[in-house]
Amino acid sequence: MTKLSVGVLGATGIVGQRLVSMLADHPWFNLQLVTASEKSVGKKYGEAVNWVIEKPLPSKYYDMVVEPTNVDKILEYGVDIVFSALPSSIAPSIEVELARKGVVVVSNASPMRMDEDIPLLNPEVNADHVELVEVQRSKRGWSGFIVKVPNCTTAILTLPLKPLMDEYGVGKVIVSTMQSLSGAGLRGVPSMLILDNIIPFIEGEEWKVENESRKILGRLINHRVKYADIGVTASCHRVMVLEGHLESVFVELHRMPSSLKEVSRVLSTFKTNKIKNLNLPSAPSKPIIVRTEKDRPQPRLDRMEGNGMSVVVGRIRADNVVNGVKFIVLGHNTIRGAAGTAVLIAELLVAKKLV
Amino acid sequence: MTKLSVGVLGATGIVGQRLVSMLADHPWFNLQLVTASEKSVGKKYGEAVNWVIEKPLPSKYYDMVVEPTNVDKILEYGVDIVFSALPSSIAPSIEVELARKGVVVVSNASPMRMDEDIPLLNPEVNADHVELVEVQRSKRGWSGFIVKVPNCTTAILTLPLKPLMDEYGVGKVIVSTMQSLSGAGLRGVPSMLILDNIIPFIEGEEWKVENESRKILGRLINHRVKYADIGVTASCHRVMVLEGHLESVFVELHRMPSSLKEVSRVLSTFKTNKIKNLNLPSAPSKPIIVRTEKDRPQPRLDRMEGNGMSVVVGRIRADNVVNGVKFIVLGHNTIRGAAGTAVLIAELLVAKKLV
Amino acid sequence: MTKLSVGVLGATGIVGQRLVSMLADHPWFNLQLVTASEKSVGKKYGEAVNWVIEKPLPSKYYDMVVEPTNVDKILEYGVDIVFSALPSSIAPSIEVELARKGVVVVSNASPMRMDEDIPLLNPEVNADHVELVEVQRSKRGWSGFIVKVPNCTTAILTLPLKPLMDEYGVGKVIVSTMQSLSGAGLRGVPSMLILDNIIPFIEGEEWKVENESRKILGRLINHRVKYADIGVTASCHRVMVLEGHLESVFVELHRMPSSLKEVSRVLSTFKTNKIKNLNLPSAPSKPIIVRTEKDRPQPRLDRMEGNGMSVVVGRIRADNVVNGVKFIVLGHNTIRGAAGTAVLIAELLVAKKLV
Amino acid sequence: MTKLSVGVLGATGIVGQRLVSMLADHPWFNLQLVTASEKSVGKKYGEAVNWVIEKPLPSKYYDMVVEPTNVDKILEYGVDIVFSALPSSIAPSIEVELARKGVVVVSNASPMRMDEDIPLLNPEVNADHVELVEVQRSKRGWSGFIVKVPNCTTAILTLPLKPLMDEYGVGKVIVSTMQSLSGAGLRGVPSMLILDNIIPFIEGEEWKVENESRKILGRLINHRVKYADIGVTASCHRVMVLEGHLESVFVELHRMPSSLKEVSRVLSTFKTNKIKNLNLPSAPSKPIIVRTEKDRPQPRLDRMEGNGMSVVVGRIRADNVVNGVKFIVLGHNTIRGAAGTAVLIAELLVAKKLV
């Protein structure tokens, strides 16, 4: 198969770097375009970027010229898919304009995620929502379209919630997060404010978790998403960890599991039929890994499981206060929670012949 | 008033250091005895201790000779009160022996906290439980007695729960904690295991929070504590912060507050009649401080409020999933959660003429 | 004595906060004016500032209105002294204009530090250089004048070098630094770049240490500073510490000490006659404290010695490679290395009747 | 070639883990034996070890039974080479006994490093010193022998010193280190003592750097090492970094380089003829990598260069105080500074037909 040509918008940020890194040896995609803000335009990518991720910058991209994030310029490149890691302030106008002009946009930016004709995809959970692409196109009259990647915390949370919902029925979900620094971007959290400290607030995050999760876990009925009938409440906090969000989750279950071992099996054998048989290159063999040690998962030790695409669940305990279970779940926020899921979505689009 | 003479058992650990520091200029108490483990015995306290707290070691204690933690030796000193910061493994036998022989023991060690004739005191919340001292003495036939300081996380949590319970009635309580390194003791958490990481497990902690809180918030009926009729579920995690436990709390309320401002007022004006008019020197003027900024409290910035004896509540939000409120509460774990509450309890015992 | 009225330019940054904190209860100065950049102007100081230092914001300053850093506006206030914590880019023009119009400027900004008619003062070391004020005024025709505070690392380093130079004669000085985050300002070092890391470069720092130290340690001859005849070479590195620069120093001595104890005594008894009998309120009783434990000084434990105005020397060792001694010295970079020395200089100016 | 069978003594510590990880896919060696202290003996390795390194524990070693570190037990296994990561307190007696009984011991333990008949090898620098093996055997009458791995800081330092010495002649060397936590072992540095702090002392380290470097850089004359005629002085400090020692080095040169670019070339093209043509599997293609950015190397970003076997030099500056150059050098302390060099030495022994 000839590789599809793709571009990354906002390629110098932390999510942009993850995208570039994941696309470097991708069997289906060929990175042709990187854009960034004014101060990087015209520079070599290798010089413009402050590369901080653990794998080195792929040398073949070092000399790529950084282009401006400008619709005409992007169209010139004629890429099949653009991955957007643009800031919320500028993402909507550029993404809409690109979709209107025929480009397929897979976007990490939060605006429009809750639009009813925009698929908000966490593939193992709701790949079937991709059907909204047709609704979107016909309603908006665009030749391209936009698909959204969920908020990082939500992408991680909905993975274990899905099999629990399918197996036992879920009522209330109470989640407290310990989120990593990378979630705020390369320069988002000044060291003086976080050393020996916690910042117990992340702008907009709780609303996203509480609402996006209900859309993602919802069912498609008559070409519309009927939100899942669950109640999610979240409290979000920033801690001094480089990568990896840890979430403490309490879940009310409608039917009681016969044992915690059973819950563990339900989670660890989750291999949704949503993307079964599609052989998507970035899909982890196990989207959910269950650890049984008393003190795992831990961000530094477990965040790279499944190349950062698996979430790791641990400390599954019965909970007779919420009438269900409590557990912790860890996911790599800039891979599973952003760049990795974006690439996985793009693969899904290809497999579904939407690109 | 002549000062009472007191001793600190386990004086070189982090809680021991806090006790020594708080007793240095105490108006009622005179520190006469410090004990520690074998390797420190016979040394000067200033040489035996690896002093790490922010106020310097009071110079008058530098030359005190460290004694063994040995009942006979302790009795020789004839102190009126001993503060125990002993490890759980050795605390019970020594504390019981001392109480039997007439010493008043205020103990931070966890064993025996749930014994029905042992007062587990967080003075602003349940100073009246001190009445159990008489039960204990008559039942056990001791001339001294033992009073226990709650688990650190629980001491902090029960402060805001008390006024909420009194005002609105409390049902379920779901709490996730981000706990500081000092909670594990001076050498408890190796740096290689926590840097860029979270350790999502603290031995025994969740059980303590779930059970001790129901005893502390219970009512004394017929010389027995009737546990509070609430359900508490906890998940506890260690993060890279020196001092200060931050707790994310979701509380079901039986009656709905008319506004969040009202909740804030109920919390910040909490000045229990439990210790009113007793003028205890270590009682903070406001046991609960409410912050209204969107990102407070923060451990490094707020843990020393009220000399470490106040807890700080922030981010009070309505919660229609748990049918109540969610908020965060921060407390200094080795002061409010240990040494400070121990001293406050001792003051209460004096005020109640039990010493 | 009536207090002098003073202002702080750039009052919301970390050095500005330290200045505000130190001026709160100052016996000679009365803070009347705080200025900051556009986004803070017109706000209450307490709301504009992101207060991060350990002592709370003095409540009396909470409601002060933040003024623009504008010469006319500053002159309106008629303050006797302004403390400048302005960024280098805008400091020179504003400071010069203020001095020209009669204001006494004590400045932390680096430009002009090496101008030959500008005193660069570390009072215990070279208070006599204040004589340059007259040279400056007569040469420039200003009614006010400018005095500069040294670079933070240099202020700390020159304190132990001075008594060594006086006692033994100094040749080469080789210094490697481990500098704290606060030196880069509140938002200077992103947490993602420094966690589990060292940034081995600080713009301009090495040049400053190598050159400013020779001016500060120089002698005043004929109203000019003759630079000290020493060779200083530096390598500067940023580490994950909140406050406090630690410097590893190797010093060639012209005359050999008879013992390390003697060196220790020479340092710890340093009480320069430069400011003797002036009774400056911020002068620490011991500018140099010598610790003899094998592992001190440590930034977190020792940076507040002498209210942050003392430097702490430790690990004094003979060195037969450089033919002298090696030691480490720690100083609080935003107090001794900036705000504190600025206040001490202002006190010197008052004592010398230059204000 | 049939693989040689090897064992790792002290396999659960951090250096032991690195050894196990490096041996997992080694083309020449086959790991057959792991030993540890009493509390691990008899357990499966995967359960006994607290695995913290970034690559997962090789699954094939999970079930290996941990043996006691006991000479008879080790001999039973009949391994060709043992890698010792034993604590200094017990290393000498066991290593000597093993060597006496015919085992080849490659040891990371510090005792005996300076013995005149014990090769202290950093292969690219002094592989020829392996000749001392014959001296050792004939002198001691052992059938096996002991070879020592240098101290971590010294292994890293001597790599750039070697080509500088060969090219320009070296006089004085002044080095200040910022060393990582792993150097003290898995549980060596309590988090409460190092957070927001530096510990400016490492037991015995400075002496090792100052003396071992002169042996390693020495020349073999008449079957004895004549120490290099250089003067090394060191000051060693622990900072909050997981892995990677950064060293700030000032070097007096006897002949002046014509340019800094030339120095850079001399370092980066260093490919000693000491191990040329031996094709040792663990030898990095470039033992010294030179970075030209103003702020590199950095521990987190650069420590894994050459799989942790290259050192990275940066910030090469002329220095007219020491009459030479100053630079920084970073190396992975548990790979280049310990386990990796141990494996490289074992490969050298094989290539030289000493095993």
Report CB contact under 8 Å: B52, D191: no
Pick C195's closest partner by Cβ from B51, B196, B304: B196
With a pLDDT cut of 70, the percent of chain B lying above it is 100
Q: Are C287 and C272 in contact (CB under 8 A)?
A: yes
Q: Are D355 and D346 in contact (CB under 8 A)?
A: yes
- Where does chain B have alpha helices with state H? 14-23, 45-48, 71-77, 91-100, 123-126, 132-140, 152-168, 191-194, 205-216, 260-268, 299-302, 340-351
Chain A residues in contact with C194 (beta carbon < 8 A): 191
Q: Are D130 and D354 in contact (CB under 8 A)?
A: yes
Q: Which residues fall within 8 angstroms of residue A293, CB to CB, at 6 or more apart?
A: A314
User: Helices A205-216 and A152-168 sit at what angle, rounded to 10 degrees?
Assistant: 40
- Confidence at residue B273, expressed as pLDDT on a 0 to 100 scale: 73
The candidate with the shortest Cα–Cα distance to B275, out of B67, B126, B165, is B126
CA distance C196 to chain A (A): 9
The answer, yes or no, to whether residue D275 has pLDDT greater than 90, is: no
Phi-psi label, residue C238: left if phi above 0, alpha if psi -120 to 50, beta otherwise = beta
Report CB contact under 8 Å: C52, B301: yes
User: Kindly report the CA angle at B284 between B281 and B285, in degrees rounded to 5?
Assistant: 105
Chain D residues in contact with C201 (beta carbon < 8 A): 294-295, 315
Q: For residue range C244-301, what is the model confidence (pLDDT) as tens digits?
A: 999 999 999 999 999 999 999 999 999 877 888 899 999 999 999 999 999 999 999 9
Residue of D nearest to A303 (CA): D54
CA distance A199 to chain D (A): 17
* Beta-ladder partners of D251: D173, D325
Pick C242's closest partner by Cβ from A187, A188, A195: A195
Buried b (16+ CB within 10 A) or exposed e, A237-276: bbbbbbbbbbbbbbbbbeeebeeeeebbebbbebbbebbe
Chain C residues in contact with B54 (beta carbon < 8 A): 54, 304
- DSSP assignments along C6-68, one per residue: EEEESTTSHHHHHHHHHHTT-SSEEEEEEEE-GGGTTSBHHHH----SSSPPPGGGTTPBPEE
- Confidence at residue D168, expressed as pLDDT on a 0 to 100 scale: 98
H/E/C letters for each residue in A169-211? Answer: CEEEEEEEEEECHHHHCCCCCEHHHHCCCCECCCCCHHHHHHH
- Confidence at residue B277, expressed as pLDDT on a 0 to 100 scale: 86
Report CB contact under 8 Å: A321, B232: yes
The number of residues in chain A equals 355
Chain A residues in contact with C182 (beta carbon < 8 A): 192
- Confidence at residue B297, expressed as pLDDT on a 0 to 100 scale: 98
Q: What is the mean pLDDT of residues A184-188?
A: 95
Q: For residue range A72-115, what is the model confidence (pLDDT) as tens digits?
A: 999 999 999 999 999 999 999 999 999 999 999 999 999 999 99
The CA distances from residue A69 to A85, A181, C143, D80, in Å, are 11, 25, 53, 61
Which two tokens mark C54? 């350990």
Question: Any idea what DSSP says for residue C257?
Answer: -
The answer, yes or no, to whether residue D276 has pLDDT greater than 90, is: no
Which two tokens mark A347? 């693969």
Report CB contact under 8 Å: D191, B196: no
Q: What is the pLDDT along chain C (355 residues), one digit of tens a residue?
A: 689 999 999 999 999 999 999 999 999 999 999 999 999 999 999 999 999 998 899 999 999 999 999 999 999 999 999 999 999 999 999 999 999 999 999 999 999 999 999 999 999 999 999 999 999 999 999 999 999 999 999 999 999 999 999 999 999 999 999 999 999 999 999 999 999 999 999 999 999 999 999 999 999 999 999 999 999 999 999 999 999 999 999 999 999 999 999 999 999 999 877 888 899 999 999 999 999 999 999 999 999 999 999 999 999 999 999 999 999 999 999 999 999 999 999 999 999 999 9
- DSSP assignments along C302-342, one per residue: HTTGGGGTSEEEEEEEEETTTTEEEEEEEE-TTIIIIIHHH
A236 is catalytic: no
CA distance A282 to chain B (A): 26
Q: Are D85 and D339 in contact (CB under 8 A)?
A: yes
Report CB contact under 8 Å: C52, A242: no
- Confidence at residue B105, expressed as pLDDT on a 0 to 100 scale: 98
Report CB contact under 8 Å: A186, C190: yes
| CA–CA gap between residue C305 and residue A202 (Å, rounded) | 36
| CA–CA gap between residue B145 and residue B105 (Å, rounded) | 6
- Confidence at residue D49, expressed as pLDDT on a 0 to 100 scale: 97
Report CB contact under 8 Å: B235, A326: yes
Q: For residue range B110-140, what is the model confidence (pLDDT) as tens digits?
A: 999 999 999 999 999 999 999 999 999 999 9
Q: What is the mean pLDDT of residues A210-235?
A: 97
Pick D192's closest partner by Cβ from B186, B193, B195: B186
Residue with tokens 């004096």: B350
Active-site residue list of D: 152, 245
| One-letter identity of residue D181 | L
Pick D239's closest partner by Cβ from C198, C231, C232: C198
The answer, yes or no, to whether residue D274 has pLDDT greater than 90, is: no
CA distance A184 to chain B (A): 15
Q: For residue range A112-171, what is the model confidence (pLDDT) as tens digits?
A: 999 999 999 999 999 999 999 999 999 999 999 999 999 999 999 999 999 999 999 999
Report CB contact under 8 Å: B248, A176: yes
Contacts 24+ apart (CB under 8 A), B89-96: B94/B9, B94/B69, B95/B146, B96/B146
Q: ipTM of this complex > 0.95?
A: yes
Residue of B nearest to C57 (CA): B301
Go through the domains of chain C in sequence order and give each one's CATH number. Answer: 4-151+339-351 (3.40.50.720), 152-332 (3.30.360.10)
Neighbours of A, requiring at least 3 CB pairs below 8 Å, are B, C, D
Report CB contact under 8 Å: D321, C173: yes
| CA–CA gap between residue D225 and residue D214 (Å, rounded) | 10
Q: How many CB atoms lie within 10 A of CB A229?
A: 13
- Confidence at residue A175, expressed as pLDDT on a 0 to 100 scale: 98
* Beta-ladder partners of A178: A237, A246
Pick B326's closest partner by Cβ from A173, A233, A299: A233
Active-site residue list of C: 152, 245
| CA–CA gap between residue D91 and residue A276 (Å, rounded) | 55
Q: For residue range B286-336, what is the model confidence (pLDDT) as tens digits?
A: 999 999 999 999 999 999 999 999 999 999 999 999 999 999 999 999 999
Which two tokens mark B184? 């594990």
With a pLDDT cut of 90, the percent of chain A lying above it is 96
To the nearest whole number, what is the mean pLDDT of chain C?
97
Phi-psi label, residue D132: left if phi above 0, alpha if psi -120 to 50, beta otherwise = alpha
Residue of B nearest to D239 (CA): B191
| CA–CA gap between residue C133 and residue B80 (Å, rounded) | 65
Parallel, antiparallel, or unpaired: how do β-strands D245-253 and D170-179 relate?
Answer: antiparallel
Chain B residues in contact with C54 (beta carbon < 8 A): 54, 304
Which two tokens mark B100? 């039997």
